[in-house]
Every structure is written in C-alpha cells, then in structure tokens.
Structure 1
Amino acid sequence: MKDVLVSVIVPVYNLEQYVGRALDSLLEQTLRSIEIIVVNDGSTDGSGTVAEAYARNDGRIKVVHKTNGGVSSARNTGLELAQGEYVTFVDPDDFIDRRAYEHMYDTASQTGCDIVICGFSYVSEANLAGESARLPIIANVVLGKQEIREQIWYNLLYSDMDAGVWNKLYRRDLLGRHRIRFDETVLFTEDHLFNLVAFTYAGHAIYIPEPFYRYVVSIPNSASKKYRYNYFQLYEHVYLFKLKLLSVWGWEEDRSRRAAANYFVYQSMKAMINEFSKASPKSFLQRVRSVKEMVDSPVLRQGVHVVEASPDYVNSLYSLGVFNYIRKRNWWMLCLAGLYYNSFMVPVIRKIKSSIARREAIQ
C-alpha cells in the first residue's frame, strides 16, 4: 500500500468474540490511508480465522500468525512490519470512534508533533457510551520538551492514568531512531515503560481531549482480568527503570524522585494485598513469606525513605495505616490487611459493580 499515513497494530490472543468489533471500527475510519496489522499471538480459538476473513475483504488488513509470546512480543512484531508515518495500537476487545485517526493525523501533520494523545472513555458491554477519563494535560496546545516533562512525564512517574499506548499516535521515525520497543520480559506495565522512553525522546506532543478511544472494562479472559504473578517484582523493576532515566537525563530533583517513590510504595501496598487474593495458588505460609520479603526489600526501603521525607506525597489510601505498616516493617499487620480486604472488601465492591451494571443494562 502506498502512502500509508497510520499503521494500526492489533495484538490478538483468544478474543474471537470481540476482534470483529475492533476491526469494524478501524475499517470505518474516515482516514482511509491506514494499514491494520493484526498479530495473532498463538490464539487457540477462532481469533485468527476471524481476522483472516476480514483481510480477504479489505486489502488494508494484514494478518500475521506467530507462536504465543505475549502482548509486547506481538506489538513488537507489528512495529517491525509497520509502514505508516505514524503508528498506534488497538486492543482487540476495545474499539475507536470513526473520526479518530483523521483528526489525530491532521493534528500531527499541522503541528509537527511526535506524539498525539486523544481522550478515551471507559465503557462496558452494558453501557457503550461510557464515561470519559480526564487527563491532567493542557488540551489543544503544542507541548515542547519542558512542558512534556512537567505535564506528561511527571504524571507517568506518579501514576499510570495515561500510561496506555492505545490512545496515542507515535511518529514511526521517532520509535525507529531510538529503537523504542516493548519490554518482552514483563507481564504487564509494558505500556508504562514504553511511554516513559517515548516521551523522553519526543520533541513535541499535543493532547486532544475528545474521547475517541473506547476502553472496554470487565471482559472475562482479557488481559486485565488475569491473575498477575510477580506483581511486586515488576513494579520494583519499573521504579528502578524510572530512577535510571532520571539519572541519565539529569532530572533527579526531589520532586521527581518523590513522585516515582510514591507510586512504587503505593503499588507495593497493592502487591501485598494481592498476595491474599483467593486466586493466588500459594499456601498461607508462602503468602506470608512473600509479604515479609517485600517489606524487607532494599529497594522498597529506599522508596519508603524518600516518601517519608515528604508527607504531602503520601497517597490518601495510606491513611488507612498500610503505609505505616510498611514503614515499620509490620508484616503481620500487612497480612491481616490483605486478608481483610480480600475477604470482606472485594465481595462488597463486586456487588456494587454488579448492581451498577444491572441498572445500566435496564436503562
């Protein structure tokens, strides 16, 4: 295909019932000069067959079949094949507004930005209209390196609210020149790590607030519903990666270090609670041992020390006492907190979500 403006990479693994909807939303794009690269990552259902059927009807779709290697491997495969001036990603259980890529590409072309961000909505099968997410970025203004650092990069240190790659256009040349790829050694947080590097090198970026991307929540068997092993170790890896980038670029001021440490300590708290999830295959003693190992981690101790130096950076959830348990290495209270949350809070949250979903379905 000549003059491909946008390459859309769709990694697929066992989502036969949803991939058609995603592809329909891409084929309906008002920007016609796109290529759609579907990477079938070793699906054992009919996902690959569905994609092939779509490809026979539209030459803009390319289907690649590979052995299962995870979403990062699938996306990297797509990046190697992409021919577009810009590249983006769509998860196969999501979909996108038909005007999205025309509007985003026109903005990129007019402003010369390396990365264009659009808004997104959280939707469900019962409520496809959804609710728009609010991003803490000045809208419709070209951001230079300093503004990217203050409004985007800093937020990536502090949270993962806009860590996804699916609501962004990336200049392919930017990714190629700096060999920016997804880390295939991690089971999740791959988007977060990718964006940390991409925004480090981006010269200009812009945020369009229109919620073009529809992020579908609570689909069984999708990646967000899997039990996550090595939760703590992965976020420890993310924290060390952030510190390395801060050091390389000379951005080691206290504010940035505190933001990175606060995020890591918060995720560590979630990791400890996660150990007592009913989905965990570990015995009770193994769970206790895991929590104790986390509490004693030298990397976490260093993060706690940084957070302690600035109480205003402590997340509001820490007011429950969990942060103090971590700070004091009170691992047995952390175990009790994990048991309480999973035994009492999780069922309540599920009931509330189920009730909301039923009301939305009726409406």
Structure 2
Amino acid sequence: MISVIVTVQNIEKLLPKCLHNIKGQTYRNLQVILIDNGSSDKSGEICDKFAKLDARFHVIHIERGNLSVARNIGLSYAQGEYVCFVNSVDWIDAEMLEYLITINAKFNADTITCRYYEDTIEELLIVSDPIETQFMSKKEAIQLCLAQTRIHSFLCNKLFKLKIFNSNPTIRFDEEIDHYEDLLVAMHCFFKSLICQIKLDRTSSLM
C-alpha cells in the first residue's frame, strides 16, 4: 500500500483536479490522507466529499499551520509500505505510482524518483534532466539534490519507504522554516536509505 499525503489550504479551484487524479491512479491500493490546513474556502468540504465517496480517502482538519506541520501530521497517520507527498496544486500522471512500484519490485530501493513537468500558462516544461534507470549511491543522490540538477527537492515525484521515517523519528519536516523543508527531508531520506536510490527515465510526475 502507498500512503499519499495531500496538503490542502484554500485551493478550492484546483483541488478537484488534484484529487480526481489521485483517485484515478491505476495503482489502487492507496491510503489517501488529506490534511485540510485551516482552509476558509470550500476546500475542506471538497475533501469531505471525496472521503464520503471513496473509502481510501481520509480527511484531517487542523488549525492553520505551515506546510511542514501539515505533512508531519499526515506522516503520523501513514500506514503504507511507501509514502509520497502531493501538494494540492500538483497532479501526478495516472500511471505514475503503479510504474514506480512495478520498477521497484525488481530493485527494492528505499527511495524512488522520476522526472517531472512544470505546467506554466503557455507550455509544459520538462524540468529534470533525463537519465536511464539505475541505482544511485547516497552520496551521488545528495550531491545531485543539492545541485538541483538531475534530482530536485520536489517531493511529488518521489516514493519513500515509510520505514525510513518510522525508523528515524528525527526525519520530519522542520516546522520552524517555510522554505526548503522538502530539500532537507529528501537529503535525510537519501542518507538513511539502506539500498541505493533509483533514478528513472520516464516522465511520470506532473505539477
């Protein structure tokens, strides 16, 4: 099972597309954790509607905090073998999760990442560089993430084994900062991965 943690805050216009995209994943064994972060629009109601119609969706309404607070709360509810993080402004390809899981059945890596698009007003831009499917050392993964070249710190195009977080309680999102908290978590996960990381030459994640 994959736990998908979705952070939501005042995004009622874009939220349905994000949630329908997750609902339509070809990989069906999901636990979708929706963290409604103090929304004052109809975002919370939209989350409740999805949870009512699909038992895989679960909603947690919290008082407004930063993104790190919401993600940490989501982690405390995660029960899957893998976990991924999606912001409500992101959308992921319908086959992304199934593809990553299928590939990892062969390699059994602790962290898996793929390419992603950046959706601008005028066009879709492929942001991350192409690279063939391969194992990658912790050191190389951290270096590439710091350089923001072939591996970027965005989390929506990554799967992490939940055991990385459960075995290392200090790997959490820093609630004292509002920027680059994803970079810190990604690097900590790379460092704690017992098996080298895979980088995939497939554009499976969209945002």
**Fold similarity call, TM over 0.5:** yes
Partner of 2:187: 196
Residue identity matched to 1:148: K
| Greater strand fraction, Structure 1 or Structure 2 | 2
User: Which segments of 5 or more consecutive residues in structure 1 lack a partner in the other structure?
Assistant: 216-363
Is 1:24 the counterpart of 2:20? The answer is yes
TM-score by length of 1: 0.54
| Greater helix fraction, Structure 1 or Structure 2 | 1
The 8 Å contact of residues 139 and 206 in structure 1, kept in 2 or not, is answered as no
Is 1:154 the counterpart of 2:143? The answer is yes
TM-score by length of 2: 0.93
User: How many residues matched?
Assistant: 204
Is 1:131 the counterpart of 2:122? The answer is no
SS in 1 for 2:13: helix
C-alpha separation between the residues in 1 aligned to 2:82 and 2:20? 20
Identity %: 29
Q: CA deviation at 1:124?
A: 2.7
C-alpha separation between the residues in 2 aligned to 1:202 and 1:53? 37
2:167 corresponds to which of 177, 201, 218: 177
Higher relative contact order (CA 8 A, sep 6+): 2
C-alpha separation between the residues in 2 aligned to 1:16 and 1:83? 27
Larger radius of gyration: 1
Q: CA deviation at 1:83?
A: 0.8
Q: CA deviation at 1:109?
A: 2.4
C-alpha separation between the residues in 2 aligned to 1:111 and 1:78? 27
**Deviations 1:153-197 (Å, cap 9, x if unpaired)?**
112333476011111000001111012111010011110111111
Q: CA deviation at 1:126?
A: 5.0
Distance 1:77 1:200, change over 3 A: same
**Deviations 1:46-78 (Å, cap 9, x if unpaired)?**
110011111111111001000111111101111
Residue identity matched to 2:144: N
Is 1:109 the counterpart of 2:105? The answer is yes
SS in 1 for 2:135: coil
SS in 2 for 1:98: coil
C-alpha separation between the residues in 2 aligned to 1:139 and 1:80? 34
SS in 2 for 1:11: strand
**Deviations 1:237-267 (Å, cap 9, x if unpaired)?**
xxxxxxxxxxxxxxxxxxxxxxxxxxxxxxx
SS in 2 for 1:142: strand
Residue identity matched to 1:76: N
C-alpha separation between the residues in 1 aligned to 2:181 and 2:38? 19
